[in-house]
Structure 1
Amino acid sequence: MILCLSNNGNCTNVDDLVKRYYLPTMYSLIFIVGVVGNITALLVYMVKVRPWKSSTIIMVNLIITDLLFMICLPFLTYYYVLDDSWTLGIIMCRFTRFIFHFNLYGSILFLTCLAIFRYVAVVHPSHAHSIKQKRWGTLACVLGWVVAVAEISPAFNHFDTVKHNNKTYCLDLASNNPEIIWPYSWVLTVVGYLVPLIVVCLCYWRIMKELKKGPHMGSTKRVRARRLIVLILTCFIVCFFPFHVLRALR
């Protein structure tokens, strides 16, 4: 996007400004806050939380995916600071892009698992004890890792480097081979995001309905639970929806 602020011909490429200044700044802040926050959370779960339940195992795996994402942020920051000039080779390019997308879809899957487990615990209380057992959390996380890898693996070879105007670019899904990537990108959006979004919304909708039943529907715990559900759904949409829309537009 080119933005002209006056009639004297001085124009600014907004995309370049975003990549050169905004993204490195935001990635640096996310890296610092993310590393400190996730390591702290992981230590709390490892040291203080006892006994572990299925939800605990899912949360720990969610933290691990976030920490993996933190690994790729310094490389992306370095890339954008150098004005989209990749100097780390094709292997690191593919690794960085793969980890970025793996975190995205791994996080979505683990958040979906949490929603399903909470749905079973609240809406079907007779199964609550069973669903809290660690083996179900372990099984859900193993499936989550396998599915996330399966979703992203077809794109691995399309995370590539190309040379243009004496610069090497590290391409992501939105930049490389649109005639091939476009169908895959839409399938990934539907399977990796829209289907989990529908599942999460349905689970929390049923939980909300269940929380409204009974004589204590206005109790502090239930009000807090409803607010937490709204917050989770808002984050699920705000954090993931814009990325998929922008990728589709590109």
Structure 2
Amino acid sequence: MAQENLTGVESSSTNCSTNIDDFRNQVYSTSYSLITLLGLVGNGFALVVLIRTHRQSSPFHIYMLNLAVSDLLCVMTLPLRVFYYVNKGKWTLGDFLCRLSSYALYVNLYCSIYFMAAMSVTRFLAIVFPVQNLRLMTENRARLVCLGIWVFICFSSSPFLMVGQKQDPGTKNFKCFEPPEPKGVQRLVMLNYLSLAIGFLLPFLVILLCYAGIIHALLSRKHTARRNRGSGTRAIRMIVIVLLTFLISFLPYHVQRTVHLNFLSRDDTTCSETVAMQKSVVVTLCLAAANSCFDPMLYFFSGEGFRNRLSSLHRNASNTGILLSEVMLIFCTSNQD
């Protein structure tokens, strides 16, 4: 999955008389602001619930926890992009933050895909092979899987740390998230196919196979005792949410990125085609970043006992409040005496 700036264009460098600077700045600044707000609130709340109820830990809980951390690390860097686009494409925050903000977005993108694949495998084993699941899916193994995902994604995305700010020779302003040089497009096309295969298609295939097995198992129980009906309902919810996330966030981005890199290698493109392609880059990258907003729905609607954890946390908070009230009442009464 080693890659340089595979998005192709996040800024509007074009020889056409018409450019998309205003469109890009408005869409990116608005979208990233909204994603930051929703992502921080949703994933921050989920992380608090998951940490406060860590005694109810399970392999699925561990994957949810790591997914929430990944999302939070990503959305915390999005304000840097908002500042850049509000500032009309002038980067004033230094080379390190430029590298970090690019790196964090793509680490989150592929960590999300792999953590969803791991959660799908866990749910598949729990429903299709419930006896073997007790032996295979332990908390320690889940932690090892998470560690492996973090190391693999962080290492394979490390080329983003090698691409920092650039100075525009005309305006002398520093730029970030710039398109690749024309001479490097062919290399990026090959790297994109590698990233597409390992970072997207492979885990997506695993997810689809797991879901096919889950649906088959649930249908076969239709005329039987229907054991574990609750786990089946959670599995159906997870299937819907994960597939929607892939269809809305991941699939459009990877298809458009592949088309765009091949488009850049052509010499017969027109001005209108170039502008349309650049606008599609803006839209699909915003959709890719929005995956951080979908994950809290995954925790709440399909998370293993997430709503029970939330209720438990609420009851504990209520009991604590009642206890404090009683202590204060006793204290006040003793002072009056």
Q: TM class by shorter-chain length?
A: 0.7 to 0.9
Deviations 1:196-237 (A, max 9, x none): 1111111111111111112256x9744564244123212123
Q: State the one-letter code of the partner of 2:35.
A: I
Q: Which residue of 2 aligns with 1:249?
A: 259
Partner of 1:144: 149
Aligned partner of residue 184 in structure 1, secondary structure: helix
Give the partner amino acid of 2:51: M
Computing the radius of gyration over CA atoms, which structure comes out larger, 1 or 2?
2
Q: 1 CA distance for matches of 2:259 and 2:95? A: 26
User: How far is the alpha carbon of 1:127 from its aligned partner?
Assistant: 1.5
Corresponding residue number in structure 2 for 1:26: 31
Measured after TM superposition, the shift of residue 18 of structure 1 is 2.9
| Aligned residue number for residue 186 of structure 1 | 193
Distance 1:224 1:114, change over 3 A: closer
Secondary structure of 1:212's counterpart equals: helix
The equivalent position to 1:37 in structure 2, one of 42, 49, 58, is: 42
Contact 1:108/1:196, CA 8 A, preserved across alignment: yes
**Which residue among 229, 243, 247 is the counterpart of 2:239?**
229
Shift of 1:179: 3.0
Higher strand share: 1
The amino acid that maps onto 1:188 is S
2:180 to 175, 180, 204: 175
Written as runs of structure 1 = structure 2, the 5 A alignment for 1:96-111 is 96-111=101-116
Q: Whole-Å Cα distance in 1 between the matches of residues 234 and 77 of structure 2?
A: 35
Give the Cα separation in 2 of the matches to 1:121 and 1:47: 25
Matches within 5 A, 1:180-219: 180-214=187-221, 215=223
- How far did residue 247 of structure 1 move? 1.8
TM alignment of 1:51-66, pairs within 5 A: 51-66=56-71
Percent sequence identity is 30
Paired with 2:229 and 2:73, the residues of 1 have a C-alpha distance of 37
How far is 1:159 from its partner?
4.5
**What's the offset of the Cα at 1:26?**
1.1
CA distance in 1, matches of 2:253, 2:52: 35
Alpha-carbon separation, structure 2, partners of 1:223 and 1:64:
26
Note the C-alpha offset of 1:81: 1.2
CA positional deviation for 1:83:
1.9
Q: CA RMSD in A?
A: 2.3
CA distance in 1, matches of 2:164, 2:114: 22
Q: Which amino acid letter does the alignment assign opposite residue 197 of structure 1?
A: F
Q: Measure how far apart 1:181 and its partner are.
A: 2.2
- Structure 1 unaligned segments of length 5 or more: list them: 1-10
- Cα distance in 1 for partners of 2:236, 2:62 equals 23
- Write the distance in 2 (CA, Å) between the matches of 1:220 and 1:203: 18
Pairwise CA distance, 1:134? 0.9
1:109 counterpart letter in structure 2: Y
Quote the residue 1:114 is aligned against: 119
Cα offsets for 1:139-168 (capped at 9, x unmatched) = 110011011112212343135424242132
Q: Counterpart amino acid of 1:169?
A: K
How many equivalent pairs are there?
238
Structure number with the bigger relative contact order (C-alpha 8 A, sep ≥ 6) is 2
Report if aligned partners of 1:94, 1:159 keep a CA contact under 8 Å in 2: yes
| Letter aligned with residue 154 of structure 2 | V
Scaled by the length of structure 1, the TM-score of the pair is: 0.86
User: Partners in 2 of 1:104 and 1:138 — Cα distance?
Assistant: 20
Deviation of 1:178 (Å): 1.8
Secondary structure of 1:171's partner? coil
Alpha-carbon distance in 2 for matches of 1:127, 1:203 = 16
**Residue in 2 aligned with 1:7?**
none
Q: Structure 1: which amino acid aligns with 2:82?
A: T
Is the contact between residue 19 and residue 83 of structure 1 (CA under 8 Å) also seen in structure 2?
Answer: no
1:163 aligns with 2:161: no
Q: Whole-Å Cα distance in 2 between the matches of residues 103 and 35 of structure 1?
A: 14
Is contact 1:54-1:131 (8 Å) kept? no
Deviating more after overlay: 114-123 vs 220-229: 220-229
Shift of 1:17: 3.0
Check whether the contact 2:102–2:160 (CA below 8 A) recurs between aligned residues: no
Alignment gaps of 5+ in structure 2: 1-16, 261-337
Structure 2: which amino acid aligns with 1:82?
Answer: N
Does the 8 Å CA contact 1:162/1:171 hold for their aligned counterparts? Answer: no
CA distance in 1, matches of 2:66, 2:144: 12
